[in-house]
């Protein structure tokens, strides 16, 4: 199997993410993997780090910019950044789950099930978990769902 650390976020889909987490069986390796994924997300332009783009409900500072394509149905693309390395990793996971999806596909995601399958429930603080779900809620609301 491919080394999980060698993949970029854009190369990964949800199935590959699950497989990578299966290979990394202890939490320290998974934590490092999440941080490494976060290092690979594209940065936001400083001009986009505005209060309007801020995600509220996160302990860390997170900014998210959403773009909607002209496709039929429209597809949602987003970029986000945080001042915390682990949160950038969680943003990378969100990009794997949501980026390029339609509003209906975004609404259909069972984020709790994904969170449990990745084993994040018992390893992230309640504040980080709440922040993750706040980012997902912002994405849903900005996508029209």
Query: Is residue 88 predicted with pLDDT exceeding 70?
Result: yes
Q: What's the CA gap between 109 and 88, in Å, rounded?
A: 20
The domain in which residue 37 lies consists of 4-142
Tell me the whole-structure pTM to 2 decimals. Answer: 0.87
Number of domains making up the chain:
1
pLDDT digits (tens, 9 = 90+) for 110-133: 988 998 888 887 888 888 888 888
- Residue 58: active-site member: yes
Average pLDDT over residues 36-55: 93
DSSP category for residue 49 = -
The DSSP line for 68-89 is E-SSSS-EEEEEEEESSHHHHH
Output the average pLDDT for the chain: 86
114: domain CATH number is 3.90.1010.10
11 Cβ partners below 8 Å, 6+ apart? none
Give the helix/strand (H/E) hosting 64.
Answer: strand 62-68
Q: What's the CA gap between 50 and 68, in Å, rounded?
A: 19
- Of 17, 34, 44, 58, the catalytic one is 58
Average pLDDT over residues 98-115: 91
Q: What sign has the CA pseudo-torsion 21, 23, 25, 30?
A: negative
pLDDT digits (tens, 9 = 90+) for 5-37: 444 455 688 999 999 999 987 889 999 999 999
């Amino acid at each position: 199997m491919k080394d999980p650390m060698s993949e970029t976020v854009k190369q990964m889909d949800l199935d590959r993410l699950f497989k990578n987490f299966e290979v990394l069986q202890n939490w320290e390796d998974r934590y490092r993997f999440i941080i490494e994924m976060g290092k690979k997300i594209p940065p936001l332009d400083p001009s986009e780090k505005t209060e309007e783009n801020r995600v509220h409900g996160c302990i860390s500072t997170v900014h998210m910019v959403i773009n909607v394509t002209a496709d039929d149905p429209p597809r949602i693309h987003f970029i986000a950044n945080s001042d915390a390395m682990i949160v950038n990793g969680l943003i990378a996971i969100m990009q794997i789950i949501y980026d390029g999806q339609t509003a209906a596909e975004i609404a259909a995601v069972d984020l709790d099930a994904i969170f449990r399958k990745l084993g994040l429930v018992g390893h992230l603080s309640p504040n980080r978990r709440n922040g993750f779900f706040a980012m997902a809620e912002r994405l849903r609301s900005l996508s029209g769902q």
